[in-house]
C-alpha cells in the first residue's frame, strides 16, 4: 500500500481546547471602539448582543480555552474531520508537490461554520436566551446556526443576503428544515433594511446590510441575542479545532506543510486552519508560509485600507480597526457569497500587518475552473469560496512541476458545493462574468470611513 489518501483521527483524539493566537503575538491588536464615545468598548457595551461567556472569549488573552463537554458531544457528529492527500489531483497536474486538504464539508451544514455555531448556541442557551438572529451570505452560516439552535432548543431568525437568497433557494429550505426562519435582506422588517430599499429597491444586499438588520432586531428584544459567523475573535477561536486536528493528522504521516492556503471572507476558516500552525511558526518549531485568497471583486486585504470602520452598513456595531472597503460597499453579486464582506477580521488584519501571512485576489472564472478540475480528480464538488484557495494551490503545484520542488501544500476545503450547483451550471454554460474592483472604485468605497481622533 502506498501513502494514505485519508488521514483520520479517532473520536478520542478530538481537541479538548480551542487555541487563542492572541497569547503568542508580539503585540496586541488595536482596541475596539464605541461608535458614540470612540473610547475602547467594555463588556457592558457588548452585553445587549452577546452572552457573558462569549464576551469573555472575545477579550481573553489565555492561550487555551476548554471546549465544554456539551459542545464536544455535538462536534462528535462529524469531528474529527478528515485530512485528505489529493493523490489524484497531483497526478492530473503531473506535479511533484504533495497536496493535502482538510475537509469541513462533512459537517451538518456542509462547511466549517458549525464549529462556531454550536458553541455560540450553547453559551446563549446557558445564559437563558430564547432566540438568535443572524445574517447569512452563502447560506452556510444561516444553516449552521439553525442546526446549532435546534440542538439547544433556541429559535433562529436569519437575514439572507438577497443575491444569495435568489441564487440558492435550497439553502432557505435547509435552514427551515432545521427550524429556522429566513428573510431576504434588505427586508422591510427593519429600519436598516427599509433605508436601503428606499435608495435602491433592487439592492442585491450585502453582508453588512444583513448584519445591520439582525443586530437591530436583537438589540430591540430582551430575550434575543445576535450571533456572527465570522470576523470576531471568539469565532476565530472556535474554528481552531480545524488546525489543531490538522497538526495531529500531519504528525501521523510524519510531514509538515511548507505552504497553507485558505480563502477569506471575514477570515474564520482561514484563521481556524492557520492559527495553530502560526503558533508553531512563532515558537520556531515549524517554518511554514501562509496565504489568504480573496475575490478580486471584494479585495479587503489586498486593496482595502487598514482603518477603523463599522462591521455593518448602518453603523450600529462598534468600530474595529481592520482591512476594509468601507462599510457601505456593496460587492458585485459573485457566486462565492460567503466572501462578499467589506471588512476583514480585526485580529486577522493585525496578523497581516505583522507580516505573518501573504494575500492575493482572484476572479471567479479561474476559481470555478479550479473547482471543476478538483471535482473531476478528487470527486468532491467544492463550495465556490474554497475554489479561490484551490486556484492558488493548483498554480503553486504547476510551479512545482517546473522546478521539481516536492512542496507540501495544505488547503482548507471549507465546504462542499452541493447547494451551489446553479453557480457551476452558470460557469459550465459560460455565463459567468469576472468582476475586478478598480483602484478608483476603492477610493470611492473608503471615502466615507468614520473619522477617529488621534
Ligand X SMILES: Cc1ncc(COP(=O)(O)O)c(C=O)c1O
Give me the residues that bind ligand X (CB under 6 A), please: 111, 137-138, 140-141, 230, 263-270, 338-339, 383, 385-386, 414-415
Q: Which of residues 98 and 113 has its CB atom nearest to ligand X in the complex?
A: 113
Q: How far is the CB of 385 from ligand X (least distance, A)?
A: 3
Instruction: List 161's β-bridge partners, or say none.
Output: 185
Q: Which of residues 111 and 364 has its CB atom nearest to ligand X in the complex?
A: 111
Q: How far is the CB of 315 from ligand X (least distance, A)?
A: 22
Residue 348 to residue 322: CA distance in whole angstroms: 8
- 12 secondary structure, DSSP code: G
Q: Identify whether the C-beta of residue 29 lies closer than 8 Å to the C-beta of residue 346.
A: yes
Q: How far is the CB of 440 from ligand X (least distance, A)?
A: 26
Q: How far is the CB of 413 from ligand X (least distance, A)?
A: 9
Instruction: Tell me whether strands 289-295 and 181-185 are parallel, antiparallel or unpaired.
Output: unpaired
Q: Which of residues 52 and 418 has its CB atom nearest to ligand X in the complex?
A: 418
Q: How far is the CB of 12 from ligand X (least distance, A)?
A: 28
The H-assigned helical ranges of 47-135 are 52-59, 69-75, 87-93, 114-126
Q: How far is the CB of 285 from ligand X (least distance, A)?
A: 26
From 127, 129, 192, 110, select the one nearest 159 (Cα to Cα): 192
Q: Which of residues 363 and 387 has its CB atom nearest to ligand X in the complex?
A: 387
For 273, half-sphere exposure in the C-beta direction (CA atoms, 13 angstrom radius) is 36
Residue 79 vs residues 107, 382, 383: alpha-carbon distances, Å: 8, 19, 19
Q: Which of residues 134 and 187 has its CB atom nearest to ligand X in the complex?
A: 134
Q: Identify whether the C-beta of residue 125 lies closer than 8 Å to the C-beta of residue 145.
A: no
Dihedrals φ, ψ of 318, to 5°? -60, 165
Chain position whose Cβ is nearest to ligand X = 338
Q: Identify whether the C-beta of residue 274 lies closer than 8 Å to the C-beta of residue 410.
A: no
Other beta carbons less than 10 A from residue 443's beta carbon: 11
Q: Identify whether the C-beta of residue 58 lies closer than 8 Å to the C-beta of residue 233.
A: yes
Q: How far is the CB of 252 from ligand X (least distance, A)?
A: 25
Residue 140 to residue 410: CA distance in whole angstroms: 23
Q: Which of residues 114 and 137 has its CB atom nearest to ligand X in the complex?
A: 137
Q: Which of residues 268 and 364 has its CB atom nearest to ligand X in the complex?
A: 268
Element (H, E) at 156: strand 155-161
C-alpha cell at 279: 503558533
Q: How far is the CB of 207 from ligand X (least distance, A)?
A: 8
Q: Which of residues 117 and 414 has its CB atom nearest to ligand X in the complex?
A: 414
Amino acid at each position: 500500500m502506498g501513502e494514505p489518501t485519508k488521514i483520520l483521527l479517532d473520536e478520542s483524539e478530538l481537541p479538548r481546547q480551542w487555541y487563542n493566537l492572541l497569547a503568542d503575538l508580539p503585540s496586541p491588536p488595536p482596541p475596539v471602539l464605541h461608535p458614540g464615545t470612540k473610547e475602547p468598548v467594555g463588556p457592558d457595551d457588548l452585553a445587549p448582543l452577546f452572552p457573558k461567556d462569549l464576551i469573555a472569549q472575545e477579550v481573553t488573552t489565555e492561550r487555551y480555552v476548554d471546549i465544554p463537554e456539551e459542545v464536544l458531544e455535538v462536534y462528535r457528529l462529524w469531528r474529527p474531520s478528515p485530512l485528505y492527500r489529493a493523490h489524484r489531483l497531483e497526478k492530473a497536474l503531473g506535479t511533484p508537490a504533495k497536496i493535502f486538504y482538510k475537509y469541513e464539508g462533512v459537517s451538518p451544514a456542509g462547511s466549517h461554520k458549525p464549529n462556531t455555531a454550536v458553541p455560540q448556541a450553547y453559551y446563549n442557551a446557558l445564559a437563558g436566551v430564547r432566540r438568535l438572529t443572524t445574517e447569512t451570505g452563502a447560506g452556510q452560516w444561516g444553516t449552521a446556526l439553525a442546526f446549532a439552535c435546534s440542538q439547544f432548543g433556541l429559535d433562529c431568525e436569519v437575514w439572507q443576503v438577497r443575491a444569495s437568497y435568489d441564487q440558492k433557494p435550497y439553502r432557505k429550505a435547509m435552514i427551515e428544515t432545521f427550524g429556522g426562519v429566513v428573510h431576504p435582506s434588505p427586508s422591510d422588517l427593519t429600519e436598516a433594511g427599509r433605508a436601503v430599499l428606499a435608495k435602491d429597491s433592487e439592492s442585491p444586499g450585502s453582508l453588512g446590510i444583513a448584519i445591520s438588520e439582525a443586530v437591530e432586531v436583537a438589540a430591540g428584544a430582551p430575550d434575543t441575542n445576535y450571533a456572527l459567523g465570522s470576523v470576531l475573535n471568539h469565532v476565530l477561536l472556535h474554528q481552531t479545532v480545524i488546525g489543531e486536528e490538522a497538526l495531529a493528522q500531519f504528525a501521523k504521516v510524519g510531514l509538515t506543510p511548507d505552504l497553507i492556503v485558505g480563502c477569506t471572507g471575514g477570515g474564520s476558516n482561514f484563521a481556524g486552519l492557520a492559527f495553530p500552525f502560526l503558533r508553531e511558526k512563532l515558537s520556531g518549531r515549524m517554518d511554514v508560509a501562509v496565504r489568504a485568497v480573496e475575490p478580486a471583486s471584494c479585495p479587503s486585504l489586498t486593496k482595502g485600507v487598514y482603518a477603523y470602520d463599522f462591521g455593518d452598513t448602518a453603523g450600529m456595531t462598534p468600530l474595529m480597526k481592520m482591512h476594509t472597503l468601507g462599510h457601505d460597499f456593496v460587492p458585485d453579486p459573485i457566486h462565492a457569497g460567503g466572501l462578499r464582506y467589506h471588512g476583514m477580521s480585526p485580529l486577522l488584519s493585525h496578523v497581516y500587518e505583522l507580516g505573518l501571512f501573504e494575500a492575493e485576489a482572484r476572479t471567479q472564472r479561474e476559481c470555478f475552473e479550479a473547482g471543476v478540475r478538483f471535482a473531476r480528480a478528487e470527486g468532491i464538488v467544492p463550495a465556490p469560496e474554497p475554489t479561490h484557495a484551490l486556484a492558488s494551490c493548483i498554480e503553486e503545484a504547476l510551479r512545482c512541476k517546473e522546478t521539481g520542488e516536492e512542496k507540501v501544500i495544505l488547503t482548507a476545503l471549507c465546504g462542499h458545493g452541493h447547494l451551489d450547483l446553479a453557480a457551476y451550471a452558470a460557469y459550465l454554460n459560460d455565463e459567468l462574468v469576472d468582476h475586478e474592483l478598480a483602484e478608483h472604485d476603492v477610493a470611492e468605497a473608503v471615502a466615507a470611513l468614520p473619522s477617529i481622533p488621534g
